[in-house]
Every structure is written in structure tokens, then in C-alpha cells.
Structure 1
């Protein structure tokens, strides 16, 4: 899909998350307040922060699909992992709040009334978040957005926290209200872990982390496969947003015509840009044998020197 189509699909998925969280808040909050369920009120309250995160992704994340301009000559790709870092931080914070509430529930039990409407509200919340999760994943299968991926994880976390609340409410029906805070504590640890994982992954994108050895090897092999390439050195591969930027010196026959050298450079750039993780590539051609490579430990030359 092109940039405009991606932007539209991104907006639809973001709106689905905004509306899904808003409806969940209303249904769970009303039932929790009506029957004194701390579990439902807490689940609805933590969805308020999810709603804020969804709105931030909706408003801010679409900027990632803007092309280069005078103020951002390399495009806006880093906006997307920045929004994902925000979502990850929100998830981790919610996990900590949920853990605190669970511990409080263990120390000072306050079970709600045993009403079937509580089960109905939780069942609705779980179905609501599952549908939003599936739609977000469906859209993101074509887009590959880290921000939407973070929202999808957040939807799963919502489902888990609602299940924890459901276990607690069922415990009330069967005379075991302690199940509510116990389930909440277990889920909260998982939620915190997910938030930290999302944040760490996207921080790598933001700070321009280096490519993995496997990615570097794939890029080197692509360059070496060209019949006119005699050497490769000064290879630098790093993340610019969620895609890789490649900078490399390639050695070719120094006596070839300039136009032929230009065509080789264009071919190499196209080959690198065709790799799945590479966004852009900058290839500098050197005449073979001038010795720039001597201090490069990962330098490759066709004759093995």
C-alpha cells in the first residue's frame, strides 16, 4: 500500500482503539459504581490511560507517514517509535497501579455484591477488546507499525486484566473473594513486563541502534553478489526510525568509465533498498587497491587480501 493508504488504515485502527476503550470505560465504570466492584472500577480506570494512549497514537502517529520536508529532510519515521515508547510507558505504569491495587485488596478485602450484571459487563469488555485487538492486528499486517503493534499488545493486556477481574467476581459468587486481588497481582506483573519490553524495543529505534550481525551479513552478501564489486569496507548500519540506514564504501575497478561506475552505484543502492529491513542506502565507490581498507577489521576483498 502507498503512504496515503497506510495513513488511512492507521487512522481507522487508531479510531477503533479510541472508541473501543471509551465504550469499555462506560460499561465497566457504570457496573462497578452501581454494585461496588473495585475490580471493575479499577479495570475501567486503567482503560482511561489506554484511551489517552490511543488518542496520542491517533493524533501523533499519523505524522510518521509524512514524507521528507524542509524541517525533516529524512522524513518522520522516528515519530512512530516515539509514540510506541509512550504507549509502553503507559502500559508499565498501569501495571504498577494494578499491582498496587491488588496488594491493597489482599490487605483490606472489600468484595462487591454478587450480581450477574458484573459478569455481563466483564464479558462485554473482554469481547470488545478482543475485536479491537483482532482489527488492529489485521490492519497492521500490511502496515507494520510499531505504534499499532503497541496498541495491540495493550488490547491483550486489557483482556488479561478483565479476565483477572472476572476471576475475582466469580470468586465472590463462590465465597472466595481473595481470588480477585491474587489474579490481579499475577496479571499486573505480566503487564509491567510487556510495557518494559515495548519501551526497550522502540528506544533502540529512537537512538539509532546498530543492526544485528545477521542483518550486516545479509547486506554484505548483497554487495558482494554484484559482479563488479571487488571490495567492501567502512560498513555502517543503524536504525533510522524503524528501518535501517546503510552507509558503505565499495571498491570497484578504478579505470572504468565514470558513467559505468555511476550505474553500478545505482544498482547497489537499489539492491540494498530492496532488502526487507533497509529504508535507505548510501554507497561510496572507491578505486580498488588504494589501501583505505587496511584498518577495517570487517573489510572484504574479492582476492582474499
Structure 2
């Protein structure tokens, strides 16, 4: 089990790796593109410049999600992380649209670069660079489970795709088919837009307190029902508070049991719910069984 401080350190390391990886890629591709007049490489370097901005935002904002609750944020800072991921998703989608525009312009006004092996070398370096950053980010995120890092990892894949598209364009120049550059760029641009929209949609759910899937609700109900003292479960509300789930529920128990025993049962139920994957906090209200204090809820049982 990874504690919060270890998660923070892992998050910071992965964020810094993304920042430095993008800086190196920008320098190598930008220099080669400007030296040999490759629009594809300059565009890919510009793409990484926006990625660098997104990485810096994740580095600065995202670490705040690990701060303890305080007077201004009594429920913690969990929603900062999906906010940063939403920003990354928006940047990715915007970049995809810009790349698509450049690809369409390239189809109309073809201006191929000089054929030079250094262009392919710079692209090969960029692909390896982003792949290593992607692997490290996903490896760290297996323990951290951060939506912001997941968005950065997806952006690393986008960088790899766009670099491969640039390879196709440069190779097209060698073989007398310069139109391959804008065609490949257009296809990759659509993929980039799609990923940006998907990242944004997922994190909008986290920010707006959306409900989880029905399977998660059933898991929560069964977890409560398996307790030997529970007679019924009703008025269950489950929603996202940031990237974790908040659970509010009424549970029926024997109304004649001692108060201390009822308190122990409530504490045990809360602990069971908090042990479930993605559940951050739980609020359990005990009702005496048989009084019929149920709302019109399909989960009542």
C-alpha cells in the first residue's frame, strides 16, 4: 500500500520527467526543423511546446491535490487533480485542431523540406524520448492512480503518433511523395482531438459529482448487506468527489440494540466501505428496522 507522501513524491517525479522530456524534444526537433526547413518537425516541436505548458500546469496544480484538508477546503483538494487533467485534455484537443488545420493547409500548399538523414535522426530521438517518458509515467501511475498523470501519458502517446506522422512525411520527400506528410498529419490530428475530448469528458464527470456505474453501486450494497447485523439498506447516494467516491447511505439494524453496539456497527460499516476501491469517504446513518423510513429508491432493500 502506497502512503500519501510516497504518492506525492511519485507524482512530482513523473511530472518533472514529463517537463524535462518535452524540453529536450523541443530543442532537438526545433533545431533540426529550422536548420533544414522541415515544417513537419517545427510543427511537432510546437506541439511539444504546448505539451510542456500542460506538464508545468500539472506539476504546479496537481501536487496541491495531496494537501491535507484546511479551513478553505475542509473536504480536501481532490478536485484539483481532475481540474488539471481537464486542462490537459483541452490543450490536447486544441492542438489536434491546430495540427488538422496545418495538415489541410499542407495539402493545398505543398512545401517539402530538404531531404536529410538528420531529420529522421531527430524524429527517432523524439520518439524514443517520448516513449521513455510514457513508460515511466505509466509505471509511476500504477501506484499513484492519478488522472492528471494518465492525461500526460496519453499526451506522450500523441507525441509519438505525431512524430511517426512526421517520419512518414520526411520519408515521402525521399521517395518523391511529399503529400504523405499532410495526409498522415491529418489522420493523427483527428486521433489527438478524440483523445483530448475523451480526457475532458472523464474529468468533467469527476468535477460535477457524477454517479459511478451500476456495478459499483451493487458492490457497495452487497458490502453492507454481508454484515450480520444489517437488516436493510436504503437511500444510497454514491457520487464522485474529485477522483474518489463519496458514499451516503441509510442502513437498518435492530432498533433495540445498545447504543454503543450500534456505534461499533456504524464504524465497522464505514471502514468496510472505505476499503473498497476508489471509495474515499462514507457516511452511514443507522435506522431501526421496520419503521418504513424509505424513500422511493430502486436500491432500497
Q: TM-score range by the shorter chain?
A: over 0.9
Aligned equivalent of 1:252:
253
> How far off its partner does 1:272 sit?
0.4
> How far off its partner does 1:295 sit?
3.3
Aligned counterparts of 1:207 and 1:73: Cα–Cα separation in 2: 18
Does structure 1 residue 59 correspond to structure 2 residue 60?
yes
- 1:120-146, Cα deviation, whole Å (9 max, x unpaired): 110000010001000101111110000
The alpha-carbon distance between structure 1 residues 297 and 9, as it changes in their structure 2 partners (threshold 3 A), is closer
What does 1:129-140 correspond to in 2, within 5 Å? Answer: 129-140=130-141
Aligned equivalent of 2:213:
212
- 1:189-208, Cα deviation, whole Å (9 max, x unpaired): 00000000000001100000
Does structure 1 residue 69 correspond to structure 2 residue 70?
yes
8 A contact 2:234–2:295 mirrored in 1: no
> How far off its partner does 1:297 sit?
3.3
* 3-state secondary structure, aligned to 1:238: strand
Which structure 1 residue ranges, 4+ long, deviate > 2 Å from structure 2?
294-298
Does structure 1 residue 18 correspond to structure 2 residue 25?
no
8 A contact 2:99–2:186 mirrored in 1: yes
Aligned equivalent of 2:297:
296
> How far off its partner does 1:294 sit?
5.7
How high is the TM-score relative to the length of structure 1? 0.97
Aligned counterparts of 1:3 and 1:231: Cα–Cα separation in 2: 35
- 1:15-62, Cα deviation, whole Å (9 max, x unpaired): 000000011111111111111000000000111100000000001100
Give the total of aligned pairs: 300
- 1:247-296, Cα deviation, whole Å (9 max, x unpaired): 00001111000000000000100010010121110000001111111633
Does structure 1 residue 237 correspond to structure 2 residue 238?
yes
Aligned equivalent of 2:204:
203
Aligned counterparts of 2:25 and 2:292: Cα–Cα separation in 1: 66
Aligned counterparts of 1:202 and 1:291: Cα–Cα separation in 2: 38
What does 1:261-300 correspond to in 2, within 5 Å? Answer: 261-293=262-294, 295-300=296-301
* 3-state secondary structure, aligned to 1:247: strand
> How far off its partner does 1:155 sit?
0.2
Aligned equivalent of 1:31:
32
Bigger shift: residues 156-165 or 67-76: 67-76
Gaps of 5+ in 1: 301-305
Aligned counterparts of 1:15 and 1:135: Cα–Cα separation in 2: 11
Aligned counterparts of 2:138 and 2:256: Cα–Cα separation in 1: 53
Aligned equivalent of 1:145:
146
> How far off its partner does 1:299 sit?
0.9
Aligned equivalent of 1:303:
none
8 A contact 2:14–2:137 mirrored in 1: yes
How high is the TM-score relative to the length of structure 2? 0.99
Aligned counterparts of 1:235 and 1:288: Cα–Cα separation in 2: 16
